[in-house]
Amino acid sequence: MSSATPGTPHLRGARVRCEELGFRHPGGDSSLSLASVDLEPGSRTAVIGPSGSGKTTLLHLIAGILSPDRGTVTLDDEVISGLPEAARRRRRLAGIGLVFQEFELLEHLSVRENISLPFAIDPALGSEGRSGRVEELAGRLGLGPLLRRHPRRLSHGERQRVAIARALVVGPRLLLADEPTGNLDPRTGAVVLDQLFAEAERAGTTVLVVTHDHSLLARFEQVIDLESPEPGGGS
């Protein structure tokens, strides 16, 4: 709902709608089912629930990494859950940023190269004005002096900020973060989350964050609790 701050290109966050989602991992015993989830453009939503309740699965369904057994995932006006894998992958690469608990950086690449990874995968992505974008984003996240370093020589907080920069470098309309502060101490976690929110707000990006930390919930406009897996439900 927030709009881009002046000085950056005006980008609207994505509207995400999940309806009657049902999914069971092949060979898995528990299944995930959700009545409906609605993410307003530019909104911030938290997903909570005990371990194994399906938080990551939900993120992967929205990202199009997984395809639901029933129900639909709609991104703006497009039902992406029905698209073939390659199409979902392209939507994801260009429009959805992902941040993981374990950072998942490539050890053999420098900070700059890690951040630029989406461009390496698809050189056509944001071909105009992308050269300055890496530096600009890194600068705002306090990574400017670290661009040539390799991940193993970074602190956990720095690593997660690199991962956030990688997720945001293509200017996604939706940011999905799976326990982004789970491997950080509370103070660093709070700072990193602040930066994530600040960056998302600049571009009006819609944000969905999986978290265990209930003290952070006040900072979200909406909370999805997967506590009771069977009936499922929104906030």
Ligand X SMILES: Nc1ncnc2c1ncn2[C@@H]1O[C@H](COP(=O)(O)OP(=O)(O)O)[C@@H](O)[C@H]1O
Q: Is 27 in the site for ligand X (CB under 6 A)?
A: yes
Query: How far apart, in whole angstroms, are the C-alpha atoms of residue 123 and residue 108?
Result: 20
Closest to ligand X by CB, 57 vs 160, is 57
Helix, strand, coil percentages, rounded to 5, for the chain: 35, 20, 40
Asked whether position 87 contacts another protein by CB under 8 A, the answer is no
Smallest separation, CB 11 to ligand X (Å): 29
Q: Select the residue interacting with ligand X from 28, 82, 142, 186 (CB under 6 A).
A: 28
Residue 177 · residue 219 · CB < 8 Å = no
State in angstroms the smallest separation of the CB of 49 from another protein.
Answer: 20
Residue 181 binding: pick among another protein, Mg ion, ligand X, none (C-beta 5-8 Å cut-off by kind): none
- What is the smallest separation between the CB atom of 43 and Mg ion, expressed in angstroms? 22
For residue 120, which amino acid is it?
A
Closer residue to ligand X in complex, CB, 160/211: 211
CB atoms within 10 A of CB 59: 22
The answer to whether residue 33 forms part of the interface with ligand X (CB under 6 A) is no
What does the DSSP 8-state code read for residue 17? E
Report which of 209, 129, 221, 211 is spatially closest to residue 169, judged by C-alpha positions.
129
Residues contributing to the site for ligand X (CB under 6 A): 25, 27-28, 30, 49, 51-57
